[in-house]
Amino acid sequence: MPELRKDPIVGRWVIISTDRAKRPTDFLRERFVHKGGFCPFCYGNETKTPPEILAYRPSNGGPPAQPNTPGWTVRVVPNKFPALGIEGSLNRQAEGMFDKVTGIGAHEVIIESPEHLETLATLPEKRIEDVLWAYRDRILDLKQDRRFRYILIFKNHGEAAGASLEHPHGQLIALPILPKHIVEELEGAKQYYLIKERCVYCDIIRQETEAGVRIIAENDSFVTLAPYAPRFPFETWVMPKRHESAFENASSKTYQDLARALKQLLMKSDRVLDNPAYNLVIHSAPIQDPALDHFHWHIEFMPKLTKTAGFEWGTGFYINPTPPEEAARFLREARVETPQTVGK
């Protein structure tokens, strides 16, 4: 008998098929494949992108490096085709009964490596940590712009997940509004806090760690788990154990442990699901908010295993053919070699 399960934060019901559970090999997935061709994000093509906003260039004791030249490990540039414009003032307007705002925002690309054929999974932990520091640096900078209320950091890996360039990269969008799903999480978590006087995410971590069936991995600072009511097969959350509402306020030890947790999850996913396309989204508190007792930042990882789900967009209703307990077991048991951290 299938089960209907409710997400305890946003109240979304999901059908979990327990009868004919789909195993990793049952999915006709669109694998991540390299296509080649000219790439503006590659080493040596620094002038083919808009001028860089930020780059980490390991110093070799020589004179400081010039911007927009090789020598970097992580590089942040404006998106050449931004969804929103950075210039102009925020203009809130009515159009009869409707509401609109001028499309002010920032849209940046975080290039994770000069090497085209790397992926976030194959980078050394220390280099993944650098990517996380780049996210943080950009958030701290953009946070000063009072026009922005939210910063969305996400990664589309593979064409099936919406990536138009295959070179390893993530994206940042700064918005003058709050995205709907974030509002729902904030409200759901607040509601829970008002009743229980506890953070719902902290409660999830506590209950899941005790039960163990949906736990995939754990280190000093993070727990990686399959959520109780996942929308997608093999959906995974990476959650900091210590309560903190904003990604950018984490400690340096946290980024180090997050890099380790992410690398392990991505390697396990590549192993078990055969290099799937995926989306990865950081869920963090609104940038202008103080530290929140009810919200807990985390990362949601969604491998793209099912061909399409247009219907789900229209209804908010999800049918998931893989119980999270099964997904967690496959990922937990996957043996991957996590090499020691190596220098840049």
Return the range that interacts with a second copy (CB under 8 A); candidates 84-92, 128-136, 325-333, 335-343: 84-92
Q: Which two tokens stand for residue 234?
A: 């093999």
Which residue in the set 302, 327, 331, 334 belongs to the binding site for a second copy (CB under 8 A)? 302
Closest CA to 264 of 136, 167, 124, 164: 124
| Residue 84 sits in the site that holds a second copy (CB under 8 A) | yes
Interface size with a second copy, residues (CB under 8 A): 76
How far is residue 114's CA from residue 93's CA, in Å, rounded to a whole number? 43
**Cα torsion 96, 97, 103, 104: sign:** positive
Q: Exactly one of 36, 38, 313, 337 binds a second copy (CB under 8 A); which one?
A: 313
- Give the shortest CB-342-to-a second copy separation in angstroms: 31
Tell me if residue 140 falls in helix, strand or coil: helix
Cα–Cα dist 117/167, whole Å: 7
| 3-state secondary structure at position 124 | coil
Structure tokens at 308: 């399409």
DSSP labels for 291-303? --SS---EEEEEE
From 31-39, 135-143, 157-165, 218-226, span contacting a second copy (CB under 8 A): 157-165
- Angle between the 180-196 and 200-211 helix axes, to the nearest 10 degrees? 80
Single-letter residue type at 280: L
**Helix (H/G/I), strand (E/B), else coil: 26:** helix
One of 52, 115, 145, 312 touching a second copy (CB under 8 A): 312
Q: Looking only at residues 220 through 249 of this chain, which bind a second copy when binding is defined by CB under 8 A?
A: 228-229, 231-232
What tokens appear for 148 in the block? 């922005």
| Distance, C-alpha 318 to centroid of its chain | 20
* Structural tokens at position 228: 């109780």
Q: Is the distance from CB of 307 to CB of 339 less than 8 angstroms? A: no
| Cα–Cα dist 303/305, whole Å | 6
Closer to a second copy at the Cβ: 123 or 229? 229
Residue number with CB closer to a second copy (55 or 239): 239
Token pair, residue 32, equals 């991540």
Q: How far apart are CA 149 and CA 143, in angstroms?
A: 8
Q: Which of 103, 116, 145, 147 binds a second copy (CB under 8 A)?
A: 103
Q: Which stretch binds a second copy (CB under 8 A): 39-47, 138-146, 158-166, 263-271?
A: 158-166
* H or E element at residue 76: strand 74-78
| Active-site residue, from 169, 283, 296, 298 | 169
Lay out the site mask for a second copy across 251-290 (x = CB under 8 A, - = otherwise): --------------------------xxx-x---------
What is the smallest separation between the CB atom of 291 and a second copy, expressed in angstroms? 22
- Check residue 295 for interaction with a second copy (CB under 8 A): no
Options 62, 314, 342, 343; binder of a second copy; rule CB under 8 A: 314
Alpha-carbon gap, residue 40 to 47, rounded angstroms? 8
Of 207, 251, 252, 338, which lies in the binding site for a second copy, with binding defined by CB under 8 A?
A: 207
Looking only at residues 162 through 201 of this chain, which bind a second copy when binding is defined by CB under 8 A?
162, 173, 175-184, 200
Q: Pick between residue 55 and residue 285 the one whose CB is nearest to a second copy.
A: 285
Angle at CA 174, nearest 5°, toward 42 and 230?
90
At closest approach, how far in Å is the CB of 92 from a second copy? 9
204 binds a second copy (CB under 8 A): yes
Report the site for a second copy in 35-74 (rule: CB under 8 A).
none
Q: How far is the CB of 114 from a second copy (least distance, A)?
A: 25
CA distance 104 to 83: 9
Q: Name the residue nearer to a second copy (CB basis): 52 or 145.
A: 145
Told to judge if 169 belongs to the known catalytic residues of this protein, a careful annotator would answer yes
Amino acid at the residue 185: E
- Please tell me whether residue 316 binds a second copy under the rule CB under 8 A: yes
- 55, 76, 121, 160: which one binds a second copy (CB under 8 A): 160
Q: Rule CB under 8 A: is residue 26 a binding residue for a second copy?
A: no
Q: Where in the sequence numbering do the catalytic residues fall?
A: 169
